[in-house]
A and B are shown apart, each in its own frame.
Chain A
Amino acid sequence: MPGPFRFGVQVSQGESMSDWRDKARKIEDLGYSTLFMPDHFGQELAPMPAIAMAAASTTTLRIGSLVFDNDYKHPAILAKEAATIDVLSDGRVELGIGAGWMKSDYDALGLPYDSPAVRVDRFEEALAIIKGCFTGEPFTYHGEHYRVTDYASFPKPVGLLPILIGGGGKRVLSIAGREADIVGINPNLRAGEINAEAARDSLRERTDQKVQWIREAAGARWDDLEIQMRFFVCKITDDRNSLAEAIAPMFGVGPDEALESGSALVGTVDEVIDQLQQRRDRWGLSYVVVGDENVDEFAPVVAKLAGS
């Protein structure tokens, strides 16, 4: 039985201290649960300091990453930073983490872009280390990619610090089913970039399949999982058909099918509410994430659905 709806906003840019503070407070005031930052090397701010500042400027807003790429930082450092923000924000962090996918980031850093299998192996090891760090107790983990020896991480998070694992392939979603508190269902990004195949991978039947993978791996945990989706095509409009026709070619399907994909959230406020309720019934989706540019238009949806 899925829990009540909550809403997040993915924000990536800020111009100054006051701009960033105002943005965070507005998101909080409008009833959104969480401010998320992506983790890329384009125009985006660095997620860790940015969410730390957003937390320091608000009182109830949760903050998190959507998602940290495991390969950019040693997991012990990532865990220490997340736990530090958690302590300084009285327990408001959600740690989103993934195996890494955007090839241009790896090229920028001069990091090897290993095969998905190797990246996911490394990610699984990192997850064990992060969980070890969050206990605050000394632990040892000697894996193939990391060696941590008799290390007690500080600080310990305030309470349970939710781990959000996002992915689109069977292996990562199965790991998420077993290990995560929040599962983000994404398009499969094995191509290393957002392309037509990624768009098609969010179509309804593919999303059904992903939910099935998560359920199988989760077993009895399924009822405790929170299912999250980030909608990339978000629009409040009373002419959903025109937009559907415009986006359909990208998905390679008809307009109606495009609108039902796990990437699109389009219609009047009431239509969007209906869609979200249907998707909660179908997929267990209760945690809805929109973009910075959608904050105002989706506020009425948040006002009606959050907490219900």
Chain B
Amino acid sequence: MHERRFRFGVMVTNVGSGKEMSELARRAEGLGYSTLFVPDHFVDHQLAPTVALAHAAAVTDTLRIGPLVLGNDYKHPVVLAREVGSLDLLSDGRLELGIGAGWMTVDYEKAGMTLDRPGVRIARLAESITILKGLLADGPFTFHGEHYRVTDLDGQPKPVQRPHPPFLIGGGGPKILALAAKEAQIVGINANLRSGEPTSPDAAHSLVPAATDEKLATLRAAAGDHFDDLEIQTLVGFVHETDDAAGIVEGMAGAFGVTPDDARMAPVTLVGTQGEMVELLEARRARWQMSYHVVGSEVLDTFAPIVAQLAGT
């Protein structure tokens, strides 16, 4: 199988001013990161993603931008399509459209939105993706689904990337991975978040290597011949440079109730010397085709040597 070239993204959750955002975006671009991502939640002091990404695009030239990921239930897909088209047009084609079914219980509770069961949310996401692709493509579009009705609408503006910006669909469960295989160009391999909480034991166990093998098998089965066209992405939430990987890994293993080997290889962690990190990333690409890694902006500089060594290889 053809191994995709490595590329890297940085996740920005909170900045205090436009100046700080501009500096961060330009530094990420200068250090060779491919993409700046912003998450989409109501809690944890996060910025609103589409407008924060617009700012990042306006102050850079080549840096790609993307939400990681938009909660589909927060906006009507016709509203979203117009924002997607506008962001891609005004960034000269640099948008990656991360979108998911929505999962964080507290978001829904605080804003008073109904949190339907996962199957319903995923069905709604599937309809939404159909609408987004329909409106971003040329010509008038009609879609009468179970959740949305769009009638004879020619979505504007059209994106620069045709027929549409790459869709990034992330998830951990089989239904969402099947949808990603069908609709996405980039697939995010994440924890299974059916519990509605990011740090549940269920979420941690769904990230060990054996569970990741299963996710890739699911994805591969769903994608069929199309699997090689997919770019596999993951969010590395814990990056820690150290000479004592064994000690750190042991501590993590205890905290999450998994074995040290599992903790070390889990795609959301990256612990060790720079050389060890490079080896781990190579091993994960060989095993799972993971070539697109996203780290937090707090390690933007410390992780930069690894980006310099691996990006584009």
The residue from A72, A107, A151 contacting B110, defined by CB atoms under 8 A apart: A151
Which residues of B are at the interface with A, using a C-beta cutoff of 8 A? 15-18, 21-22, 42, 45-48, 50-55, 57-59, 74-76, 78-79, 82-83, 85-87, 89-92, 109-113, 148-151, 153, 156-157
A85 to B53, CA, bound (A): 10
**Docked CA distance A150–B52 (Å):** 25
A13 to B156, CA, bound (A): 10
- The reply to whether A80 and B42 form a contact with Cβ atoms under 8 Å apart is yes
Q: Decide: A52 near B54, CB < 8 A? Known: A17-B92, A72-B79, A149-B112.
A: yes
Check A108 against B111 for contact (C-beta < 8 Å): no
With A53-B55, A80-B48, A146-B112 given, is the CB distance from A110 to B87 under 8 Å? Answer: no
Kindly report which residue of chain A lies nearest to residue B143, judged by CB atoms.
A110
State whether the Cβ of A114 lies closer than 8 Å to any Cβ in chain B: no
Contact B52 A88 (CB under 8 A): yes
How far is B47's CA from A107's CA once the two chains are assembled, in angstroms?
Answer: 31
B residues within 8 A CB of A149? 109-110, 112
Which residues of A50-92 are within 8 A (CB) of B? 50, 52-53, 55-57, 72-74, 76-77, 80-81, 83-85, 87-90
Q: Which residues of chain A are within 8 angstroms of B109 by Cβ–Cβ distance?
A: 149
Q: Which residue of B lies closest to A143 (CB)?
A: B112
| Contact partners of A305 in chain B: CB under 8 A | none
Partner of B90, one of A42, A53, A81: A53
CB of B55 within 8 A of CB of A110, answer no
Q: Which residues from chain B contact A73 at a C-beta distance below 8 Å? A: 75-76, 79
Instruction: Report how far A155 CA is from B20 CA in the complex, Å.
Output: 15
Is there an interface contact between A74 and B85, defined as CB atoms closer than 8 Å? no
Cβ contact within 8 Å between B54 and A154: no
A-to-B contact residues, CB < 8 Å = 13-17, 20-21, 41-46, 48-50, 52-53, 55-57, 72-74, 76-77, 80-81, 83-85, 87-90, 107-111, 146-151, 153-155
CB of B17 within 8 A of CB of A90, answer yes
Known: A74-B74, A107-B151, A151-B42. Contact between A43 and B54, CB under 8 A? no
Contact A90 B18 (CB under 8 A): yes
Q: What are 12 pairs between A and B in contact, CB < 8 Å?
A: A16-B90, A17-B90, A41-B156, A48-B51, A49-B50, A50-B54, A53-B57, A84-B52, A87-B16, A87-B18, A148-B112, A149-B109
6 nearest interchain CB pairs?
A147-B112, A110-B149, A56-B58, A52-B54, A52-B51, A46-B86
- Smallest Cβ-Cβ distance to B71: which chain A residue: A77
Which residues of A lie under 8 Å from residue B156 when comparing CB positions? 41-44
Take A108-B153, A110-B150 as given contacts and tell me if A77 and B113 are in contact as well, using a CB distance cutoff of 8 Å.
Answer: no
Contact A21 B58 (CB under 8 A): yes
Given contacts A41-B82, A88-B17, 16 further A-B contacts (CB under 8 A): A41-B78, A43-B156, A49-B53, A49-B87, A50-B54, A53-B54, A73-B76, A76-B42, A84-B48, A84-B52, A88-B18, A88-B47, A88-B51, A153-B42, A154-B45, A155-B45
